[in-house]
Amino acid sequence: MDLDLNLLRIFDTLMEQRNATRAAERLSLTQSAISHALGRLRRQLDDPLFVRSPHGLQPTARAIEIAGGVREGLVRLQNALAPSLFDPAHAVRRFTLSAGTYFCSLLVPPLVERLRTTAPGISLRVFPISDDLVAALDGNAIDIALGAFSNMPGRLIVEPLFEEEMVWIAARSSPLVGRTVSAEEIALHRQVVIVTGGVRTELGVFTPIGDTFRSSASQAVTEALHGGESAMAVYDSRTAIATVARTDLIALVARRAVQQYAEADQIAILRTATAPTQVSLSMLWHATQREDPGLAWLRTAIGEIANDTAANI
């Protein structure tokens, strides 16, 4: 059945006013227009809907039955079409992020700090990036992912945050410090490699292949992982940096990660013959969430924190 939404609006007003004259005034229509609309609705629903009584128009059983659904539908439609507003100071909502340990240590703490002061009713859940990331975004199980992403499906939006450098580090006492180190020396030196689940790094670097994902980490990381039994694997830069500070091992880590930890004064960034690998770090979110004002606010907050981080470190 095709119903004119104007008829439902008139029906809803008649249910509220129980008087055709007052309903016409409320809707800025003539009484004739109200009567005509009510006649059409009666024919379509095959019910009188309202009957006259000494106390005004009285709804029939059928009118009472459908009134709640009609009101709810009109309200939902009005809300859907109205400009969306989001007040973080009073909003109560939970967002879900997906990020590797790099972003968890770099951006999540200042983000939570901002939420506690400007949006105390908003909470976060943060999960590691997993191989079903796209499916999680499609199903709204994840609101925003933070990482380095390439070749994403068109339904996903990749919003750049900042560039990161992958640098080789060693203990300050290492003979590699203070001179230019060749790629051959790097390849032959014992290393700590940051990996989780195969060759996926904590930066969350993904390239889709069909319906599955593999990491597209820097070539140096991949080569190091497969470079032989001399490569030691850990799952985060915090462990790699602390290990390098105490041993003769070297590691490839994000430059900003080096500057976060207390061991930073015990290690040195090596000067290499080849330029450091640049990684573009981004927010990843679903295009269907473009009009969600809460998520738009959260993306803006993350972007502002990322800009501050990029400028200050």
3-state secondary structure the chain: CCCCHHHHHHHHHHHHHCCHHHHHHHHCCCHHHHHHHHHHHHHHHCCCCEEEECCEEEECHHHHHHHHHHHHHHHHHHHHHCCCCCCCCCCCEEEEEEECHHHHHHCHHHHHHHHHHHCCCEEEEEECCCCCHHHHHHCCCCCEEEEEECCCCCCEEEEEEEEEEEEEEEECCCCCCCCEECHHHHHHCCEEEECECCCECCCCEEEEECCEEEECCCHHHHHHHCCCCCCEEECCHHHHHHHHHHCCCEEEEEHHHHCCCHHHHHEEECEECCCCEEEEEEEEEEHHHCCCHHHHHHHHHHHHHHHHHHHHC
**The predicted structure's pLDDT at residue 84:** 62
The predicted model gives 233-253 an average pLDDT of: 90
Task: For the chain, give every residue range classified as CATH 1.10.10.10.
Answer: 5-81
Beta-bridge partner residues of 281 = 162
Residue 72 has pLDDT above 60, yes or no: yes
CB 96 within 8 A of CB 143: yes
pLDDT band at 186 (very low <50, low <70, confident <90, very high): very high
**The predicted structure's pLDDT at residue 230:** 54
Does the domain at residues 5-81 carry the CATH identifier 1.10.260.40? no
pLDDT band at 224 (very low <50, low <70, confident <90, very high): very low
The CATH classification number of 93-161+280-312 equals: 3.40.190.10
When comparing pLDDT for 137 and 262, which is higher? 137
The predicted model gives 113-141 an average pLDDT of: 89
Residue 197 has pLDDT above 50, yes or no: no
- Mean pLDDT score of the chain: 83
Task: For the chain, give every residue range classified as CATH 3.40.190.10.
Answer: 93-161+280-312, 164-278
Residue 73 has pLDDT above 90, yes or no: no
Lowest mean pLDDT among 17-21, 72-76, 100-104, 235-239: 72-76
- Which whole-number Å values give the CA distances from 50 to 60, 65, 286, in the listed order? 6, 13, 47
- Judge if pTM exceeds 0.85: no
Tens digit of each residue's pLDDT (9 = 90 or more) over 150-176: 888 888 999 999 998 889 999 999 999
**The predicted structure's pLDDT at residue 1:** 57
User: Using CA atoms, how far apart are residues 253 and 241, in angstroms rounded to an integer?
Assistant: 8
The CATH classification number of 164-278 equals: 3.40.190.10
**The predicted structure's pLDDT at residue 211:** 30
When comparing pLDDT for 194 and 46, which is higher? 46
pLDDT band at 228 (very low <50, low <70, confident <90, very high): very low
